[in-house]
Structure 1
Amino acid sequence: MNQINQEIRQCQNCKADFAIKPEDFDFYEKIKVPPPTFCPECRAKRRMAFFNERILYKRKDSKTGEIIFSGFSDDKDLKIYDHQLWWSDDWDAMDYGKNYDFNKTFFSQFLSLLKQVPLASRSFVSPINSEYCNNAGYLKNCYLVFDADNCGNVLYSCMLHKSKDVLDIFYANNIELCYDSFMIWDGSRIFFSSYCDNCLDIYFSKNLTGCNNCFGCMNLRNKKYHIFNKPYSKEDYQAEIKKFDFSSYNGLQKIIEQARNFWLKFPVKFREGINNTNVSGEYIADSKNVINSYDVSGCHDLRFCQIVIPPASDCYDYTDWGSNADRIYESSMCGRDIARLSFCWDCYKTVSDSQYCFQCHNSHNLFGCVGLRGKQYCIFNKQYSKEEYEALAPRIIEQMNSLPYIDKKGRAYKYGEFFPAELSPFCYNETIAQEYFPLTKEQAMEQGYFWKDPEPRNYQIDLTTDQLPDNIKDVPDDIVGKVIECQHQGKCNEQCTEAFRIIEPELAFYRRMNLPLPRLCPTVATTNDSSNATPSSSGSANASAKASLAGVRPQPKLIRTLASTSTEIVPAPTPLKPATPPTAPRLFIASSATLEKLSEQP
């Protein structure tokens, strides 16, 4: 055990003091890296600036010239291959291998390699009829779904797993037939609700566990047939529910306002979490010894981590993914059977003992590599013997310390730092950093990040939102494919795409569930709505960087992203199969007449 006492150091970036505790020194010693020079928040911000979660662009494939969808815009000085071509045997990343030059800084040489080796257009595993998705795996019949896996028949959703037949969902696991909800687990037929676990037939409710047939409720446990926390008999509940008109947009807004005003009468938990031992942070579940971390489940011995799914263990400063990850440090978008990775980005599927790598897979013992698959003992994409690798890598580390990279803001990058922001393939406002740590363009540029200005879309608007029918029963079939102007008209600061359209399976869902058409474009975030966020100690949702990292992440209203640089709307996929009746999740009681009310056909 390291006997070093806690030290207070000044962040190289923001100049704030931060503590390095004895257990932190133990971890750094175990993985043989120096202590960080950035504070935890600046480290998280830097990693997040490499994570474009859900923005898609039209651009040319750098090899074929064909138009493809990509997470990288066409103005980036990078070679981008369509993901199917990238995973094929038609090219070899080893062809770009180069000798390490000890007269140049490591990061300047890595940037040169990064610009030469093709990157995959999207991070995607085994899609079936789900081409318009990204940062996802094992999806079937999904459309514009991001940061998800093992899902089917899902539209416009983000951060969900093992779910099917849902639309406009953010952060969920094992759900079906749900709509416009946030952070729901093991549920079915949940609408306009948040923080619901093991629930069925829930509407306009918040923080429910083990409940069914509840409407406009808050903080209930194991209840049924409640309206605004008042109990009813089954018959009276069904009669009362029929008085609410879900099919009208104006009527729906009144119900939402009524529910939110009701929620404000109740206290909220100081932290969202369940089944934890010795944890601190927010949105943590089924975890042990997880400290200063957020959006974590089924993990143990983590510190300074965000968005990690089970299992993961013994990790520091790890952003996004997991799925059997062990001893990961200062890495982002890495997962699925990985171990002992440091300073890596978008590396997955059995990768181990590697440092400073981009998009490498099924490999081990790599240093400073880009785009390798099934390789070992490589440095800068050049093959070495085991003995040569083990001799050269320490020399490069020593050179990184003696000849550090100095970025345009004067910050020194020696061995032990994640990639400089200048090497990110994305602009700051294209990434989740803008959601957790929102900045203006001027602030981002001042801090050394890049910024992407909106490009003219020039959509030919077919309908404005005030021209949409108020009631789903009055919506004609030919609404499909029409370009609808977003209610915000691009005037908000919420990544508004200015327009959207309705696709066939979406319209079928609204009709089946008797719900009106939306008025906002998919990417508009509810940044002015604190109802889905855990309030700060002052009682209001804080949109500052620190509060955002503490769990107050703006929840996108919808995720139906348009191709940002295109003047066309993203094409719809092959029509989805009709949704099948749900299989009742564990401990659920049979469905109620509430669903019958919602599922009336026009």
Structure 2
Amino acid sequence: MTSETRNCQNCKQQFTVESEDFDFYKKISVPPPTWCPQCRIIRRMCFRNERALYRRKCDLCEKGILSMYPEDALFPVYCRDCWYSDKWDPLEYGRDYKWDQPFFGQFRELLRVVPRLAFMSIHTNVNCDYANFLADAKNAYLSYSIVKSENIFYSRFIDTSKECLDSFNAKGSEMIYENLDASRNYNTKYALRSRDSLNSAFLFDCVNCQDCFMSSNLRSKQFVFRNEQCTKEEYKKKLETVDLGSYTIFKDLKKEFAELFGNSLHKFANVTKIVNSMGDGIEDSKNARFCFDVYEVEDVKFGTRMLGSKTCYDIFGAGPGELLYEFMGGGFGSYNIRFGVVTDASRDLTYTDYCTSSGSLFGCVSLRKKEYCILNKQYAKQEYEELTRRIVSQMNSLPYVDEEGREWKFGEYFPTELSPFAYNETVAQEYFPLTKETAVEKGYRWKDREEKSYRVTKQSEDLPDHIKDISDKILDDVIGCNHGGQCNEQCTTAFKVAPFELEFYRRIGVPVPRLCPNCRYYARLKFRNPMRLWTRQCMCIGVGSENKVWKNT
């Protein structure tokens, strides 16, 4: 089939459905989308709350927990032990399908009564009660989307790594601090888009480097100080003049690094070892189109935060799975999942929310090791297959109409008004930020920031300047964030330093931060590219760049 230009049902802008897209939709038996790619990814993001966490009680055992759902959530919320236990049966919430009502309206009613898991956590996770979106993690604290990693603090998108603090999108790394888009780094501080490097600090776009400081665009170098090649002795002597343990000095170094970042040569995209791929943050992948932060994927389009997936479209957050479509979260060992929110080790699911180790489900919530269920009700195989065919037909003849007047037939992801989260609680606000007024105008819910009543015992400006002068007494302090809530970065206004955190700062010789974890996170985001692609000309005109800043050697 040839390419086709369509108008997005949401933003009304034109978008193209390519011939290869039609082939995929035919393969998984879904119609082509009516929303453009950007509107589709925002729609999926509205169902993913990683970092807005709330203290509450488990509705089954009544133990105090931290959860991505607040106390006033419409549905019960269970801790991990209770949710995976035999103390309750999700099939008890099953109901008959009502042929005179749209599917999504019935699914919304089911969502409002079935217990949910407090955090997204699959496989075995140890000592991770204060982290979200985990798979095989150990000792993760206020960290999000962590896979097969250990001792991870205040970080996001971390895979197969150890000892990471305040980092974003790192894999195969160890003992790193403030690393962004890093692969296989060891003992690096402030490394951006750098890989295979060690014993270095303040690197941008450096590969296979060691013992380098405040440098950019290096390849296979050692003993480079501020982009100047040194002998081992010269490098050591110059490095001794820089006291990384002083907050005052560290703050000046961060400003210098920001200038270095702006003045350095930037590759057209952060891509490595790719074949027929296009996007940003792609590594070891083939046929990855319009993808961001993916690695070891093949035949994937419109994917974000993926590892080891094959033949997938429209994904945010997926591990090794195949034939996933319009999917958010999980996917490990899953096959043929259409329209899902968090799935693990399952196959042949359609319109499900947190179902695991299951097969042949349609419109189900929180099922484990089940098959042939519709709206959490058990059926025989033949009856299930007959009913699902009828439901698909009914979804097209009796579509759900949302508050904005948009139609939702079979083939659309969940309507955003079914999300349990406000827009600014989700990752959509991080990638596509809106003001409260604009969000409400677009039909999204908005959650006003709760006033914090922390009793600050020490202002950040009163902390000793040097890490060597920080005593263990700081562990008892509630420290005021430098921003004091006067920013648009979900500032918590105050924070504490944890024992493992203080030990890490001392070990690597950096000062205690003056900002809360949320403000530090948003500072890192400023160094990331937006999730967009542009058609443009390369600035290199042969001998050097057209702005005469760079010269080829």
- Structure 1 length as normaliser, TM-score? 0.87
The separation in 2 between residues aligned to 1:339 and 1:447, in whole angstroms, is 34
Is residue 27 from structure 1 mapped to residue 24 from structure 2 by the alignment? yes
SS of the residue corresponding to residue 548 of structure 1 reads: coil
Candidates 266, 271, 278, aligned match of 1:273? 271
What amino acid is the match of 2:96?
N
User: Do residues 345 (structure 1) and 341 (structure 2) align?
Assistant: yes
2:476 to 463, 476, 481: 481
2:381 to 383, 386, 403: 386
2:174 alignment partner in structure 1: 176
Q: Which runs of 4+ in 1 moved over 3 A?
A: 525-531, 547-551
Partner of 2:391: 396
Aligned partners of 2:125, 2:375: CA distance in 1, in Å? 30
Note if 1:461 corresponds to 2:459. no
- Counterparts of 1:422-433 in structure 2, within 5 Å, are 422-433=417-428
Aligned to 1:16: 13
Please state if 1:447 is matched with 2:442: yes
Query: Is the partner of 1:523 in helix, strand or coil?
Result: helix
**Secondary structure at 1:111 match in 2:** helix
The alpha carbon displacement at 1:525 in A equals: 5.2
Deviations 1:537-559 (A, max 9, x none): xxxxxxxxxx33459xxxxxxxx
- Post-superposition Cα deviations, 1:240-273, rounded to whole Å, max 9, x if no partner, equal 1000011110111112222332333322001110
Alignment-derived partner of residue 209 in structure 1? 207
CA distance in structure 2 between the partners assigned to 1:292 and 1:48 by the alignment: 16
- Cα gap change, 1:462/1:208 in structure 2, threshold over 3 Å: closer, same or farther? same
Q: Please report how far the alpha carbon of residue 488 of structure 1 lies from its aligned counterpart in structure 2 after TM superposition.
A: 0.5
Q: Does the CA contact (< 8 Å) of 1:313 and 1:325 recur in 2?
A: yes
- Distance between the aligned counterparts of 2:523 and 2:140, measured in 1? 29
Partner secondary structure for residue 206 of structure 2: strand
Q: Is the 8 A contact 1:49 1:428 kept in 2?
A: yes
Contact 1:192–1:203 (CA under 8 A) maintained in structure 2 = yes
Deviation of residue 170 (structure 1)?
1.0
In structure 2, the residue matched to 1:548 is 531
State how far apart, in whole Å, the 2-side matches of 1:343 and 1:130 are. Answer: 28
Match of 1:589 in 2: none
Aligned to 2:102: 105
User: How far 1:65 moved relative to its partner?
Assistant: 3.1
Aligned equivalent of 1:249, options 247, 256, 260: 247
SS at match of 1:193: strand
The C-alpha deviation readout for 1:270-324, integer Å capped at 9, x for no partner, is 11100001111111111111111111110111111111111x11111111122x2
1:234 aligns with 2:232: yes
SS of 1:46 mapped into structure 2: helix
Report the Cα distance in structure 2 between the residues aligned to 1:457 and 1:259, rounded to whole angstroms.
33
Q: Residue in 2 aligned with 1:523? A: 518
Cα distance in 2 between the residues matched to 1:509 and 1:294:
31
Question: 2: CA distance between counterparts of 1:6 and 1:412?
Answer: 24
Q: Give per-residue Cα distances to partners, 1:360-386, cap 9 Å, x unaligned.
A: 000010000011111111111111111
For 2:394 and 2:470, the matched residues in 1 are separated by 66
Task: Report the equivalent of 2:331.
Answer: 335
Bigger drift between 124-133 and 457-466 goes to 124-133
Contact 1:294 1:550 (C-alpha < 8 Å) held by counterparts: no
Rounded to whole Å, the distance in 1 between the matches of 2:520 and 2:245 is: 23
In structure 1, which of residues 413, 428, 434 is the aligned counterpart of residue 429 of structure 2?
434
Structure 2 residue identity aligned to 1:53: E
CA distance in 1, matches of 2:213, 2:228: 10
Higher relative contact order (CA 8 A, sep 6+): 1
Cα distance in 1 between the residues matched to 2:63 and 2:139: 24
Is 1:334–1:344's contact at 8 Å kept on the other side of the alignment?
Answer: no
Match of 1:591 in 2: none
How many residues of Structure 1 are paired with residues of Structure 2 in the alignment?
533
Output one character per residue of 1:9-50: Cα deviation in whole Å (capped at 9) or x when no partner. 111100101111111111111111111111000000000110
AA of the residue aligned to 2:353: F
More strand by share: 2
Aligned to 1:411: 406
Q: Is the Cα–Cα contact under 8 Å of residues 228 and 262 in structure 1 kept in the other structure?
A: no
**CA contact under 8 A between 1:284 and 1:295: conserved in structure 2?**
yes
Shift of 1:513: 1.6
Encode CA deviations 1:418-443: one digit per residue, 9 max, x unaligned: 00000001111111111111111111
Looking at structure 1, the residues matched to 457 and 531 of structure 2 have their Cα atoms a distance apart, in angstroms, of 37
Q: Quick one: which amino acid aligns to residue 326 of structure 2?
A: E
Between the aligned partners of 2:54 and 2:270, the Cα distance in structure 1 is 35
Alpha-carbon RMSD across the aligned residues, in angstroms, is: 1.4
Task: Give structure 2 stretches of 5+ with no counterpart.
Answer: 535-553
Q: Distance in 2 between matches of 1:78 and 1:337?
A: 28
The partner residue of 1:365 within 356, 360, 369 is: 360
What is the match of residue 574 of structure 1? none
The code of the aligned residue for 1:57 comes to Y
The code of the aligned residue for 2:407 comes to A
Counterpart amino acid of residue 528 in structure 2: A
- Opposite residue 175 of structure 1, the aligned amino acid is S
Over residues 75-122 of structure 1, what are the superposed CA-to-partner deviations in whole Å (9 max), with x where a residue is unaligned?
221211112100011111011111000011101100111111101111
Partner SS, residue 284 of structure 1: strand
- 1:479-519 deviations in whole A, cap 9, x for unaligned? 00311111110110011111101111111111122211101
Deviation of 1:64 (Å):
3.1
Structure 1 gap ranges (5+): 535-546, 552-602
1:504 to 499, 504, 510: 499
The answer to whether the 8 Å contact 1:481/1:503 transfers is no
**Deviation at 1:529?**
7.1
Distance 1:413 1:52 in 2: 23
